[in-house]
Amino acid sequence: MNEYMINTGFSRVSVTAANEKDARRIYRENTTAEEKHFKDIAVELIRENVPATKQQEREALEKIKAIVATLGPRSYVGTALDGCLVDAEVNIENDFGDSMRARWMEAENRVAQARFAEIQAQAEIDAQANIIPIDTTPTALPPTAAQALGAPPQPATIPQTNPGTGEIVEPTRQPTAQAATVEEPGF
């Protein structure tokens, strides 16, 4: 919406409208009989992106309700807007800014806070009872028995195939960096 200044030479009136044509129409609908006869009406854009008036909001809401009503009782749009149009009506009349989404997000936040508080309380109870909670979240693969006893990890095996027949031959161990280093005798 934009704010326009309407100047008739007789009076100056501020009008909020979507465009200049609507500003002229709104002015003519809301003027006295004497002012309607003025032919030279100057319309000047004062500000852009201003809020709509309450009456304009009410009119827009009625149009939206009529559109949704024509879609039928089980329409996708009607279902999505269930309760939202009532909120809009209350917002207009009481200068509120409520929305279904904001209430939903606030409820989600409260549930998350309650869960966190519950987890903290249980952790305190466990700590007082000297109970160490077991973390069941897997963070890595379990070590092999040899690794658990302190042996270094073994390199992975690579299956080999016979180039002539294509048969799998006994797997060999991948050479490690130490095995690849060959010390040559000094000359």
State pLDDT tens for residues 81-109.
888 999 999 999 998 888 888 888 999 99
In the DSSP assignment, the letter for residue 83 is: T
State the pLDDT at residue 61: 95
Co-location of 18 and 42 in the same domain = yes
Co-location of 47 and 59 in the same domain = no
Co-location of 8 and 44 in the same domain = yes
Enclosing domain of residue 61: 55-98
Of 66, 98, 130, the last residue of a domain is 98
Domain total of the chain: 2
Q: Is residue 17 part of a domain?
A: yes
Please give the structure tokens belonging to residue 30: 């809301």
Q: For 168, list phi and psi in degrees, rounded to 5.
A: -75, 130
Q: Is residue 65 part of a domain?
A: yes
Rounded to the nearest angstrom, the gap between the alpha carbon of residue 52 and the centroid of all alpha carbons in its chain is: 26
Co-location of 6 and 46 in the same domain = yes
DSSP 54-100: HHHHHHHHHHHHHHHHHT-TT-HHHHHTTTHHHHHHHHHHHT----H
State the pLDDT at residue 60: 94
Of 98, 130, 157, the last residue of a domain is 98
Please give the structure tokens belonging to residue 148: 């658990």
